[in-house]
Amino acid sequence: MKLIIDSLKIPGKLVDLSRGIANSFGIEAKLVRERDKDLYRLASDDFDFEQRQQRSYEALKPILDDMEPGDILITDDVDLASEAFPKLTAIIGSDGQVFTKERIERLEIKKHLDRIKGVEAHAKSIFRSDNTVNEEEIKKTLYQYLGNL
């Protein structure tokens, strides 16, 4: 089991907090997407929807391939959450709330509607209007999952 932290989509203070909690439980904390910011940016900047989807998946594939059942992911990326959902023990947003299938579906619809309206949702976290950074909730949720090992 490892804690996977999407350092491209999670604020730095939550990255540090999450790593500290994982270390206190003796669990590996792995940062992802530190090095592939350029590839991810290309996926986000492309104006052709199908090309953007393909590039986004190419950027996420190495992360997804490294995930194992039992891992926990912290991200605010709806695409990553959607692809990883069936594989992981939990996916947690920066608000400390666990992603459910329904929440992912709702956020995918919001993302699609934003795209139709011409809103560039990739410039900021896709969830910012839905979530706020909540350190206490992150702590509570991580302790809940890590404490049950």
Nearest to 49 by CA among 103, 99, 107, 114: 114
What is the total count of domains within the chain?
1
Domain that holds residue 126: 2-146
Helix-strand-coil percent breakdown of the chain, rounded to 5? 50, 10, 40
CB 35 within 8 A of CB 8: no
Q: How far is CA 49 from the centre of its chain?
A: 21
Q: What is the pLDDT of residues 97-145, one digit of tens each?
A: 899 899 888 888 887 777 777 655 444 444 443 445 678 888 898 888 8
Question: 95 - beta bridge partners?
Answer: none
pTM here is 0.73
Among the listed ranges 50-54, 57-61, 106-110, which one has the minimum average pLDDT value? 50-54
Amino acid at 142: L
